[in-house]
Each structure stands twice: as structure tokens, then as C-alpha cells.
Chain A
């Protein structure tokens, strides 16, 4: 039950439903009656019912959607009538003057629908000239000039005659005068199309101006009715290219252009592209494009062109896949479109520039797909874009604007297509277009570039390329004049800089051209240096490591380059300077580690001044430690690395090595916390045992006395820890260290030392501890250590100089 509003009337929607329901029930009743009469072979009565039924289509009250539903219901029922008549004729029971009979239907709508139905029967039974009937029918429909009703009537005509058109070539023997040929079919459809288009356009002018939007919507709903004519034309097999060129296309375009209606033009121009084959478009480009230029100013010509270019580009790609040339060489497709786009830009100065750029985007797509080797075409597009941007005289294009988005799309295309920085650098206008974007735009493109390079592992191999690429990446490398400096999330910034850092490893000259690699690194260093204190912690370390790698490479091919030692020196100086820059940027822990790495790297590459350089690096590390590292945890971590690195440095003379070792020991004793001191001293003890000097020529120092001194100091410090648990833990660690050196043959360490320590833990410290997880851990550690000792004691080694564990007291 429809609900009633206050005023007692129903809403328009409910109105429509009610009207449609009422009409459909009439149709149902009349159709039933019609079929009953046909069963009884009472044709006249049946026609009367049919006429009444068709009368419902005379309404002006239904919306196009509802009218469509009514129309479909009635068409279904008319099928019965058609089948009955066909049956009568085919069984020899021709109905005399059927044509005249149906003319007695009162109103024109029922009359014309019935005439079409009968006409179809005549055609199917070859009663009269197919050609003549078709011509009559298409002319007769002019009788209905109401847009909606006329459209549906002509649609009925088109659907009924779907397979009945004389689709035969003119010279086909079956194409008699009476039957007709493809020209007649074309004429039929073209006339129907013109009339339908006129009706469709007329709909725009019906009713109040305030209903304009609704009318536009309704017109859109009906577009397929008009478009079907074009589909029919495309389905005619006998239309050859010549006919299409001379008759079909010009006919359609004439109607499209002359109707001067933007909605119709936009739809129909795209329809033409979609329904007719691509080969034929290639042959008729000029004609089609000329029509484009004549379209109404409200038509989005760029959308149409983009659709056309897209279609032809896809065609070109398919042709290539089949081994054919993508576009027939006699058709300069790219130039045609390039010129056309220029024409349109001139003819429509008010067209928003983003539409122009979207056309450039489709041009580049065409170039990629149909002319893949012609890189210059892509650059041409970029050049035209630049010219267009000049015309609108805007300084920097806003990234968020429609134009900005299109430009972004444009620039990303060559990046993603070529996946090659080198190819990109061959497009001179790429960088120029890039510069027209605002900061956000340039940064977005730069990020896309970097990600693309990293994903495809595209290496940069010369210094010129390095400079050019880093120029394009400027927004990521240093602060830009048009950049807003606040507000970026620290994590986002770190992510970006990490990308740049990763990119540095793509700087790789040819394997044999080490000098080029050096030039690339120094050139990059200059650019990255401009990034300031915020960025160099990310960007300098990778450069430093690439430099370390390069030094080693020079060493590996030293036979071939007599200047290699000087070059290595230069490289290490370069690294030193980079690390110093990090220190200036107020970092401490990172440069300390890099200095240590540098010392180790230099020690392994044996050239003239490498010992001096290594010494310089390591003393810088120690200086940093003393001057800049004050946090206890950081100190212990740093000192661990310093001692461990020193243990591995084999290039120092005793003269250089001794002071550094002593310094380590001093710093160990100077740590704030006792446990840290103890453990640091243990670490330092290794410096007197396994490290080496130049004089020792790789043999370990084995200064057992000094080792024991360190360990005794460590033990003393351990006993100064008040907490028995901490003390116990430290002493168990110490036990293992004593055993370690004892086992390696340190003769200053005796079984007594070890027994003392074990006894200290067992007798003195453990009893002081309450049962806890901590105690359990220490006991387990001690237990495992004693297990090991027991095994060594009870299974003495057979080698002559192995230390004897006899006398170890474990219980």
C-alpha cells in the first residue's frame, strides 16, 4: 500500500510504480485476450486486442526506465502475434491485405508497431521486396515525433530487422533489385540513426530548465538505443573499407557534428571507436580527427582522444606480439596525434591544462607500445608538455592540483617503463619538466625513481650519470628553497634517507675502471654533503664503506697500477674526512665505530703509510671515547670494540702498539661500575696474549705475566663488589678466563689460582646467597665449568706440552 503524505498525494517514485503496474496489468489482460483470439483464429479480434495493448505505449507519464519495462513486456507479447502470422503464411494461408488491415488501428503508435511486425513477416516470407519494405518502414516511423516514444519505436524496428538486412555486396548475384544490397542496408540504418539522434537531442529541450539535470540523466539512460544503430552498421559483413570510408563514416560524422549536442557527440564519438575495428580507424584517422576539432566546446575531447590512442596502442601491441609491424609504416601515427593534440590545444584555449597533459600521457603510452625503440618520441612529448606549461606561465605546479597529478603521472611513465636510469638520462626534457613541479611533486617523482632503481638493481656507472641522477633526486638530498622545513615525521624522514643510503650501493663503475669509481664516490660526497647534519648520518656511512671496498680492490690489482699506494692513501684520507664530518655533526658512537673499522681496513691493505693511517684512525677513536662518550653503557660497549679491534690490528710496531694497549687498560679501570671494570679488564687481558705486532710477524704476543696482572686486577675489582651474587657471577666468569689462558699454555697461571677462585665461590660467596634464580644460574655455570675441568683432569691430553690439570680441586 503506498503511504500517503500529509497533502494526500504520493511521491513521484511511488507514482511511477503505480502507473507502471496499472499499464502492465492492461498489457497482461489484452495479451491474454489476443492469444485466445489467435487460438480461435479470429485475427481481426486479436488485432484489436493487440492495438489496445499497444495503446499503453502512448503514455507521456512514464519515466524512461518505466517505459522501457512496459516496452519489453509488450515486445514479448508481440512475438506471439508475429509467430502466428508467420505460421499462417508458411502454411499457405496468406492473409489478404494484412498491411491494409492493420492500418485500421486507431492511433499511430499501435498502427506503426503493427506495421513493423507485419512488415517483418512479409520479409521473412519473401512476400514483397525486402528493400522496399525496409524503406517504407523506416520512413513511416517519422510519424512519431515524440522523443521517448519515437526512440523506442525505432528501436523496435531495429531489433526486429536485426537479421533481415540485405547484407550482400553490390555485385553479389543474390543481391537482386527486390532483395537489395549492402548499400540499402547502410541507408536504412543511417536514416534510422539520424532520426533517432534528432529525437534524442530534442529531449534536451523538453520541459523546464530546472529539470535539466534530470533530463540529462534520462538521456544518458537511453544512449544505448541510439548507439545500437552504430553496432548494426559494424555488424554488416559486406561493408568493406572503401564503403566505410566513403559512405558509412562520413554519414555518421555528419549527423554527429551537425546535431551540435555535447552529450550526444561525446557518446557517439566514443561509440565509433569502440564498435568499428582498429584497422579501419587507422585508415580514417584524418576524417575522424577533423570531426573532433568541430565538436561542441563542452565535449571533453581529450577523453575521446585518449580512448582512441589507447585503442590503437593496444592494437599496435597485439600486432607486435604476432610478429607484425605494430603500425603500418605509411601511417605516421605518432605525428598525426601529436599534431592533432596541438590543434586542439589551439582551438580550445580554455581547456584546462591537466586535460592537455592527460593527452600527453596517452601519447607516451602510444610511443611505448607502438614505437618502443624511438626514445626521442618520448622526449618530444616532454618537450611539448614544457611548451604547454610555458603558455600557462605558472612557476611551480602544485602537487595537489589536477595538473600536478597529471604531470606526476606523466613523469612516472618513463621511469616505470624503461626501468633504467641510463635510458632516463637520455631524455633531456625530463629533468626540465620535473623542475616545474613544486617541492612535493619533485619529491614524489624522486622517491619513485629511487624505488624503481632499487627494485630493478639498475647500476650507475659514470660520474656524469651520478651527477645527473643526484640532481634529479635533489629534494631527497638537501633542503630545497621551496621546501617547508617543519612537520615531517621523523620516521618518514629516516625511511627516505635509508632509501638514499641504499641507493649509494648502486654507484658501481665498470669492474676494471677503479678510477671512475673513485670519481663517482667523491662526486656523490659533494652532493650528499650539502644535505647537512640531518642527512649525513644516513648518507656518508655507505660512501665510506664503498670507499673501503674500493681500497681493497686497488690492493687486489696492485700489479697493474703503479700509483695504487697513493690512491689508497687518498681513499683513506677521504674516509677520514667523511667520518670527521660526522663528528662535526655531533655524533660520537657511529664515528667511533667507523674509525675502528677504518683502522682494521687499513691494517689489511699493506701500503706505505698504512700503519700511520691505521694509527691515526685508532687514536681518533680513542679521542672520541674520552671526549664524547660519557654514558656508562655506551662506554663499556665502545671500550669492548676498541679492545677487540686492537686485538685484531696486526700492522703496528711495538712502539705504536704498547701505548694503545696501556690506554685500554687504563680506560678499563676508569669505568664507573665495578662489574664493568672487571669485565673490561678481562677483555683487555687478551691484548697481551693473542694480539701481534709487526716485529712479531704474526706470532701472538703471549705475555703471560701481563695477562695474569690484568686478571688479578680484575679479580680484585670483583671482590670490591658488595653484592655477593654479582661477585660470585664475576668470579665464575673469571675462573673460565683463567682456565682459558691456562689451557693455552700461560705458565704464569697455575692450578692454585684456579682452586682459589673455585673455593672462593663455593665456600665464601654461594653460602651468602639466598635460594633464587640468580643463585641457580651461578651454580649451574659453576657446575658446567667444573664438569669441563673434571673432564680435563681425568682425561689428560697426550701431547707433550699440554698443561696438566692435576691438582684441580673440584669437590
Chain B
């Protein structure tokens, strides 16, 4: 069993001051094996915080991460039996378009494609592949998305199954949903 924390678009400090306290309480160091971050953290302190949660942290460049930063534009990571692609998503035009995302999935040859940028949680299957958007962990402002809810995702990967838990902060309560995906 491998626990993978998937989150991004925190936008600290420009749009938010901190991760919601109720989320912070859930994220305890030592339980998570890998972190996949879609980018736009945007400060060193936030990166340091993620590094305290797990030793294997992968980040890709968001549109508000500096060009000069060392984060790659995209990354492919293998966890258990799954090849996972990680891209921020501002590079995919139109933003959030499922067809374009599917195109990228074919290009990277991955089983699971993780993108962010829209600040809207998504988790769906398409043509036998799995697509996840963890949303914004802080519920950061997005000019074209009026109803941003703080959210992040935890993937539990066991052999050929990944159980995805999405945590959302609705009316100051943490709500959890569960989605299963089997690799065929």
C-alpha cells in the first residue's frame, strides 16, 4: 500500500495565508509515502512544509512559480503498477478541456494524469485512463471560477487498484468522498 498526497494551487502568500487548519490537522508526517504537487505553492516555506510530510516530493511548475525555478514543466512518476503524469495545466489550452487532457495522457503514456490550475476538483475515467485534478488546497481565488472549495486528494495505491479519497472543506466541515479506479 502506497499513500500518495496530491495537492496544489495553494498560492501562499499571494492569494491565501495558510492551509486550512482542519486540513493541516489531517496531514500528519510519517503516513504519506509520496507527494505529487501540481504547482503554484508559491513560497519556500510551503515547500519546506510539504517536505516535512514525506521524503519523496514531486513538483511541477505552475504559472505563478518563477520561470527560474528548478521545477520541470511535466513529470512522470511510477508508483506501484501505475505510471502517473503530473502537469500544472495552465499549458493545456483550453484550460480544463477533457479532450486536450486526454491528448496529453496519450503523449505521456500514463495510466493516471494529474493536473491542476482550474481550482476545481475532478476525478473521472476516460477511455480506460484516470484523470485527477486535486483542486486548490487552500481554496485560492480564481478569476474565472466563482465557487472554489478547498480540496486535496489522497491516493491509496495497491497493486492494480487505486482508491482516491478527495477531502473537501464545505461550510467549515471536512467531507470525504471515495472513488475507485482499476487498471485494465
Contact surface of A with B, Cβ cutoff 8 Å: 454, 457, 491, 494-495, 498-499, 501-506, 538, 541-542, 545, 548-549, 552, 589, 593, 597, 600-601, 603-604, 631, 633-634, 637, 640-641, 643-644, 647-648, 683, 686, 690, 732-733, 736-737, 740, 743-744, 777, 780-781, 784-785, 788
Contact = CB atoms under 8 A, between A and B. Distances in A.
A542 B13 contact: yes
A-side binding surface: helix, strand, loop or mixed?
Answer: helix
12 contacts: A454-B18, A457-B21, A495-B45, A501-B14, A502-B17, A504-B13, A505-B13, A538-B13, A589-B66, A640-B90, A686-B94, A736-B107
Interface string B33-75: 0000000000111000000000000000001101100000000
B98 to A, nearest CB: 11
A640 B66 CA distance: 15
A644 B12 contact: no
Given A593-B63, A740-B100, A604 B143 contact: yes
Interface residues of B, number: 32
Contacts of B64: 593
B67 A633 contact: yes
A736 B97 CA distance: 14
B26 interface: no
A496 B45 CA distance: 11
Interface of B: 12-18, 21, 43-45, 63-64, 66-67, 90-91, 93-95, 97, 99-100, 103, 106-107, 109, 127, 141, 143-144, 146
A308 to B, nearest CB: 40
Contact of B144 (A505, A604, A640, A683): A604
A164 to B, nearest CB: 61
The 10 A-B pairs with the shortest beta carbon distances in the complex, nearest first, are A501-B13, A600-B143, A502-B17, A784-B106, A505-B17, A601-B143, A502-B13, A541-B14, A736-B103, A644-B93
A601 B15 CA distance: 14
Given A601-B143, A781-B109, A784-B109, A545 B63 contact: no
B30 to A, nearest CB: 23
A557 to B, nearest CB: 14
A780 B109 contact: yes
A644 B95 contact: yes
Contact of A637 (B67, B107, B146): B67
B143 A631 contact: no
A597 B143 contact: yes
Contacts of A737: 103
A542 B15 contact: yes
Given A499-B13, A743-B99, 20 more contacts: A498-B45, A501-B14, A502-B13, A502-B17, A548-B141, A548-B143, A593-B64, A604-B143, A604-B146, A631-B67, A640-B90, A640-B91, A640-B93, A644-B95, A690-B94, A732-B107, A740-B100, A781-B106, A784-B109, A788-B106
B14 A545 contact: yes
Given A541-B14, A545-B15, A589-B67, A647 B99 contact: no
A180 to B, nearest CB: 66
Contacts of B106: 736, 781, 784-785, 788
B17 A647 contact: no
A644 B90 contact: yes
B91 A502 contact: no
Contacts of A503: 17
A368 B96 CA distance: 55
Contacts of B91: 640
A777 B107 CA distance: 8
B117 to A, nearest CB: 9
Contacts of B141: 545, 548-549
A166 B148 CA distance: 80
B94 A644 contact: yes
A643 to B, nearest CB: 6
Contacts of A502: 12-13, 17-18
A784 B146 CA distance: 36
Nearest to B108: A781
A740 B99 contact: yes
Contact of B107 (A601, A631, A733, A744): A733
Q: Which of A545, A690, A788 has the most CB of B within 10 A?
A: A545
B75 to A, nearest CB: 14
Among A499, A503, A597, A647, the most chain B Cβ lie within 10 Å of the Cβ of A597
A321 to B, nearest CB: 28
Contacts of B100: 740
B78 to A, nearest CB: 15
Contacts of B143: 548, 597, 600-601, 604
A647 B93 contact: yes
Contacts of B90: 640-641, 644
Nearest to A544: B14
A347 B79 CA distance: 75
B17 A454 contact: yes
Nearest to A737: B103
A725 to B, nearest CB: 15
A648 B95 contact: yes
B13 A683 contact: no
Nearest to A649: B144
A740 B43 contact: no
Contacts of A549: 141
Given A648-B144, A740-B103, A780-B109, A505 B94 contact: no
A542 B14 contact: yes
B14 A552 contact: no
Contacts of A631: 67
Nearest to A590: B64
Nearest to A776: B109
A365 to B, nearest CB: 29
Contacts of A784: 106-107, 109
A640 B43 CA distance: 23
Contacts of A457: 21
B43 A498 contact: yes
Given A600-B143, A780-B109, A643 B17 contact: no
B67 A494 contact: no
A784 B113 CA distance: 15
A686 B14 contact: no
A683 B63 contact: no
Contacts of A648: 94-95, 144
Nearest to A791: B127
A593 B94 CA distance: 17
Contacts of A600: 143-144
A589 B68 CA distance: 11
A235 to B, nearest CB: 50
B63 A641 contact: yes
Contact of B94 (A647, A743, A777): A647
Q: Select the residue from A538, A541, A732 with max chain B CB neighbours within 10 A.
A: A541
Contacts of A494: 44
B125 to A, nearest CB: 15
Contacts of B66: 589
A591 B144 CA distance: 19
A446 B144 CA distance: 37
A498 B13 contact: yes
Interface centre among A504, A743, A784 (most CB of B within 10 A): A784
Nearest to A732: B107
Nearest to A786: B106
Nearest to B11: A545
A634 B67 CA distance: 7
Contacts of A589: 66-67
Contacts of A504: 13, 17
B107 A781 contact: yes
A683 B13 CA distance: 30
Nearest to B99: A740
A600 B143 CA distance: 6
Nearest to B91: A640
Nearest to B106: A784
A698 to B, nearest CB: 14
A549 to B, nearest CB: 6
A212 B44 CA distance: 57
A486 B41 CA distance: 29
Nearest to A539: B13
